[in-house]
Amino acid sequence: MLPEALIALAGAGGAALVRAAATDGWQAVRSGFARLLSRDDPRRLAVVVERLERTRAEVSTLGSDIDQRLLTQQAAWTARLEDLLERLGP
């Protein structure tokens, strides 16, 4: 189990990623998160980039359910960041 501070950090990271997905700065954010989450493993990099691009497509499409889609994407990325922090360990 992660300490509260790391859970908050993962939550902030997930929220920042989802907010950035709909901005002009997306390419830089995508690149940074892809590098972080793939841990420079070329096989994982392609998977992470695909997930990031699906997120961008999901949050860039307007609709009546946009708030729910944003929350869903934020929760998914928060969970991925929590997993990463747990793997890195103390």
**Residue 40, pLDDT score:** 83
Mean pLDDT for 22-33 is 94
Encoding tokens for residue 34?
A: 């892809």
**Residue 61, pLDDT score:** 86
Mind listing the pLDDT tens digit for each residue in 45-70? 999 999 999 999 999 887 889 899 99
The overall average pLDDT reported for the chain is 93
- For 41, the enclosing helix (H) or strand (E) is none
The answer to whether residue 90 scores a pLDDT higher than 80 is no
C-beta atoms surrounding 78 within 10 Å: 21
pTM summary value: 0.90
CB 59 within 8 A of CB 18: yes
Burial of 16 (0-12, 13-18, 19+ CB in 10 A): middle
**Alpha carbon separation from 37 to 28, 40, 66, 73 (Å, rounded):** 14, 8, 25, 16
The answer to whether residue 32 scores a pLDDT higher than 90 is yes
